[in-house]
Structure 1
Amino acid sequence: MTEMKEDPRFPGALIHVSSYVDDGAVVGRGTKIWHFCHVLAGTVIGENCSIGQNVMIGPRVKIGSGCKIQNNVSLYDGVELEGDVFCGPSCVFTNVNNPRASVSRKDEFRSTPVGRGASIGANATIVCGHSLGQYCFIGAGAVVTKDVPGFALMVGNPARRMGWVSRSGERLGADLVCPRSGERYRELSPAQIALIV
């Protein structure tokens, strides 16, 4: 049995009975939080999100509407996802660059903004302090160690740009036309493209 219930604090959201949402968090209408999750105080989750099993979010994390967080992901203080971001299973966000068990660095957390529509593949690692541009695509297992431009396809360790992707997540050819939607893009510089509207 699913055991999803509506919490009176968050009308229209469904939360599995095995999950905890601390007081001071906000969960938007239509969002589903599945098994064994913990949402800490100060976290804001938008509408119509899907939070998979064993996800930890917060404190003070912002998640836009329409995001999908797959199983076994932790989103720490400083992570901010715009709308429609996809986080694949077991992807990792760090919060400090040089952790030591014996040294407290809670005042050194770095921000990690993730642009609208970005996709992060399974087991990818996003090193804190770097931004991910809108609709970028981070391949499974990639390790992001620098800022990522919008629409970039990033793979490897350390992650390198191997091409461009459209808003639909399709790899773009030399003509910069999305094979799924027909949307056209133009090159602004060797390291930047934009949608032609």
Structure 2
Amino acid sequence: MQERSFYVHPQAEVEEGAQIGAGTRIWRQAHVRSQAHIGEQCNIGKGVYVESHVSIGSRVKIQNHVSVFEGVTIEDGVFIGPHVCFTNDMFPRAITPEGQLKSAEDWEVTPTLVKYGASLGAGSVIVCGITIGEFALIGAGAVVTKDVPAHALVFGNPARAQGYVCRCACRLTNVHELNGQLSGWCETCGTLCVFAK
């Protein structure tokens, strides 16, 4: 038997046809469906569900009991807190207008993109069809219904912009716009962050 380059807990299920990168760890009661793709050096927590056709980059940390449904793309370096839920259907129904149980062919998946370095707080709900920008920070319990710009801090229901954060996740001060870019100073790590508006 060929030795795997990734770890799967004996109580986790990784279906045949799933692609898992080297150094990734998948913990108990997680379920990774066939045709899902998970990159290298990821940590997939207890009870995480990763549906078919989901794409997860490398060095992604997904905490316990997260649901990642078809249509979601997660880039490298993303943090997803416990109990985060991604949706994928803008018009969900169990039955057709005629009253028949919907089949896989009746679903219309709406894609969602989480960009490099973003962080999603515990219990947040990500409504499908949006993009969360690089190094954005989503507060715990937020319901995200619109695109989130790079480095933006959003929280609430519905989530609203509350400022900007550094790559280290601390708030930026003195944020201003110049030539279509934003810049702000991080008093915590001493970095001047410059990013697209």
Select the residue among 66, 76, 89 that pairs with 2:69. Answer: 76
1:23-38 matches, within 5 Å, as: 23-38=16-31
What is the deviation of 1:178?
1.8
Give the residue type in structure 1 aligned to 2:186.
C
1:43-62 matches, within 5 Å, as: 43-62=36-55
Alignment length (residue pairs): 182
| 2:95 match | 102
| 1:113 match | 113
| 1:3 match | none
Q: Is the 8 A contact 2:36 2:51 kept in 1?
A: yes
Give percent identity, aligned residues only.
Answer: 44
SS at match of 1:163: strand
Distance in 1 (alpha carbons) for counterparts of 2:36 and 2:157: 31
Instruction: Please tell me whether residue 91 in structure 1 is matched to residue 84 in structure 2.
Output: yes
Distance in 1 (alpha carbons) for counterparts of 2:24 and 2:2: 14
| 1:183 match | 191
| 2:181 match | none
What is the deviation of 1:117?
0.5
Give the residue type in structure 1 aligned to 2:79.
F
Distance in 1 (alpha carbons) for counterparts of 2:191 and 2:38: 30
State TM-score, norm by structure 1.
0.87
What is the deviation of 1:148?
0.6
Residues 1:26 and 1:19: Cα distance change in structure 2 (over 3 Å)? same
What is the deviation of 1:97?
1.7
State TM-score, norm by structure 2.
0.87
In structure 2, stretches of 5+ residues that fail to align are 97-101, 176-183
Give the residue type in structure 1 aligned to 2:166.
S
